[in-house]
Amino acid sequence: MSLFSMNHVKKSFGALEVLHDISINVDEGEVVSIIGSSGSGKSTLLRCATLLETMDNGELIYEGSYAAKNVNGKCSYASKAQLKKIMQYYSLVFQNFNLFPHYSVMKNITDAAITVNKESRDKACEHAKQLIEKMGLTGRENYYPCQLSGGQQQRVAIARALAMRPKILFFDEPTSALDPELTGEILKVIKQLAEEKMTMVIVTHEMAFARDVSDRVIFMDGGYIVEQGTAKDVIDNPKCERTKQFLARFSD
């Protein structure tokens, strides 16, 4: 059984169909990168997966629990109580960090664990200290986001996501708001998580990184999955002409 599945997902914004019959399965410990041009549907796919957007059609399943399924040709979502349980399976790291500017690093990391997961403050703080050390942020517990570099802010955002103890991490272009120098430090963190067998779905424009870290790469174009396979197959030896055209723009 897959840890996470989307089956025959469709999504439109008005007359614009953004996702066309998308199906994706992710197994525990697997790292899946989603690549493609801007406007190909990658971020919308992630937003549907994390319940930030509602699907028009299709199924959304976490470890056998249905968040959404088709009923009479329409997408029917589970109850609020069931969705609340399902939301504990995953965390999402945004491209623009989305930290609370008036919260310290420690409070940004612990707040949801305490208020949503109902962890004791002591337990949440102890876990946060471990994550702060892991992210190379020791000594900055009481800093505010405005006192941190972009790379440090994104590392706080990753620590905050991990503080929820998710089974799967979603990343929406985690380096797109960073300059090249800071990009490397975030990719290093994600690579470490991959080595620890954290299940991840990563929307990224970093092709070399996707090749190095991914068990599987999915290429999307125009709301369709055009090609998927191992990183070596899709990035080094693409079969579809559209994939070849896209990858031709990137050179290592």
As a whole number of angstroms, the longest Cα–Cα distance in the chain is 55
What is the bridge-based pairing of β-strands 199-203 and 31-35? parallel
The model's pLDDT over 27-74, given as tens digits with 9 standing for 90+, comes to 999 999 999 998 899 999 999 999 999 999 999 999 999 999 999 888
Mean pLDDT of 224-238: 93
pLDDT in tens, 206-227: 898 899 899 999 999 999 999 9
Ramachandran region, residue 109 (left: φ > 0; alpha: ψ -120 to 50; beta: rest): alpha
CB 3 within 8 A of CB 199: yes
Render pLDDT for 141-177 as a digit per residue (tens, 0 to 9). 999 999 999 999 999 999 999 999 999 999 999 888 7
Could you tell me the pLDDT band of residue 251, with boundaries at 50, 70 and 90?
Answer: low
Q: Taking the model in full, what pTM does it have?
A: 0.93
Percent of the chain scoring above 70 in pLDDT: 99
Q: Residue 152 and residue 157: Cα distance in Å, rounded?
A: 9
Question: Distances from the Cα of 211 to the Cαs of 34, 37, 40, 65, 215, in angstroms?
Answer: 11, 17, 20, 31, 9
